[in-house]
Chains A and B, each alone.
Chain A
Amino acid sequence: MRNSVTTAEGWLRPLWLGDLIADVNSEPAAPPARSDADPLERRAIARAKEGDPSSYGYLVSKYTKRVVSIAWGIVRNAHDAEDLAQEAFVRAYEKLPRFRSGEPFGPWIYRIVTNLSLDVVKHRTRFRHEELTPAEPAARRDNADLPAQTSEIARRIDAAVESLPRMQRVVARLHLVEQFDHAEIAQMTGISEGTVRSHLSLARKKLRKQLTDLYGGSDE
């Protein structure tokens, strides 16, 4: 059996990776893949689809950082982001048989984690409506997880983005912080590209208003 490595991160480690690489190299006639598809990724997906869960580790290690960052950007809580990332990977694994071979895994897992995170935020909003008294704050901002070295400018931007309405905030964060383009955001959030542009345009106006002193108000 190939998954003989049993340490905490063993399934992501050289023996396993080497095994995958060997498999890719010995692949006789691989189907034409999309240009952005990583051959190791394709191989890992194919193996995981065949029922080899150890292969899935490559995908988890490759996408964890981005997936957690996306989740955190929406839910703003490190513990929730961790749970959501784990849940997203498990759900993606469960749905792997329906995943089209040759497609990159990234957009798919990003969409899953975005949807899960949005569900959490919606649930929180509903919960607050029911539970909170008017005297309590309407929004909880969890800035404790911001990197310690975050600059004052970045903190100002963060606060400005957080003050936006929910979908504008999500779209703005995905575009500004995670650097996704309009089409990618549309795919991740399940809204049309036009709506993404609209949210972004509104967000941009509000951000500009709030950050005037940061970048200068007048046109150069």
Chain B
Amino acid sequence: MNEERFFERLREDAQPLRFELDALMTTRIAAGVRGRVSGQPNVTGVLARWFRPLAASMAAVALASLLGMIWLDRQSAPAVDALASTSSPVEIAVAGDVYSVNP
């Protein structure tokens, strides 16, 4: 048998070696692909998926900053009052003379 004939015969005889898939496998593949393909987001979805956590993080940072500023403001307010109260001398006028008293 020559080379070409040998290979032709080989090709003919090898054809039954193709994998024969059953209906169940076909259905599983179709369902699997459909499930994954249908769940794929479009451009808007992808952008939303990126921006949502980003926006949430920025909102959290802004809220934390705001709360921090309020807290700092509250902490510093009595000190200013105290400073003001300590730095302003009390003036008392007695018989035409003015006396300054530091509390």
What is the interface of chain A, defined by CB distance below 8 A to chain B? 8-9, 11-12, 51, 53-54, 56-57, 60-61, 64-65, 68-69, 72-73, 78, 81-82, 85-86, 89-90, 93-94, 145-147, 149-151, 153-154, 157-158, 161, 173, 175-179, 204, 207-208, 211, 215-216, 218-220
- Nearest chain A residue, comparing its CB with the CB of B25: A82
A146 to B2, CA, bound (A): 29
Contact A8 B31 (CB under 8 A): yes
B38 CB, min distance to chain A CBs, angstroms? 5
B11 interfacial contact with A, CB 8 Å: yes
Contact A89 B10 (CB under 8 A): no
Contact partner of B33 (CB less than 8 A), chosen from A56, A176, A211, is A56
Residues from chain A with Cβ under 8 Å of B32 in the complex? 86
- Nearest chain B residue, comparing its CB with the CB of A68: B21
A–B Cβ pairs within 8 angstroms, 13 of them:
A11-B34, A12-B30, A53-B38, A54-B38, A60-B30, A69-B18, A69-B19, A73-B19, A78-B25, A176-B14, A177-B14, A179-B11, A179-B15
Known: A53-B37, A153-B13. A64 touches B21 (CB 8 A): yes
What is the interface of chain B, defined by CB distance below 8 A to chain A? 1-3, 5-7, 9-11, 13-21, 25-34, 36-38, 40, 42
Beyond A82-B28, A150-B17, 6 additional pairs, beta carbon < 8 A: A9-B30, A86-B36, A147-B20, A154-B17, A161-B14, A173-B17
Known: A8-B27, A157-B14. A204 touches B21 (CB 8 A): no
A179 to B20, CA, bound (A): 15
Residues from chain A with Cβ under 8 Å of B2 in the complex? 219-220
A56 to B37, CA, bound (A): 9
B47 CB, min distance to chain A CBs, angstroms? 15
Residues from chain A with Cβ under 8 Å of B30 in the complex? 8-9, 11-12, 57, 60-61, 64
A204 to B2, CA, bound (A): 12
Residues from chain B with Cβ under 8 Å of A147 in the complex? 16, 19-20
A216 to B10, CA, bound (A): 12
Known: A94-B40, A208-B6, A220-B5. A64 touches B34 (CB 8 A): no
Known: A208-B6, A216-B1. A151 touches B31 (CB 8 A): no
Contact partner of A151 (CB less than 8 A), chosen from B1, B16, B36, is B16
Contact B10 A176 (CB under 8 A): yes
Nearest first, the 7 A-B pairs at minimum CB distance are A72-B19, A176-B14, A69-B19, A89-B33, A53-B37, A86-B32, A154-B16
A85 to B7, CA, bound (A): 29
Contact partner of A86 (CB less than 8 A), chosen from B3, B13, B17, B29, is B29
A12 to B30, CA, bound (A): 9
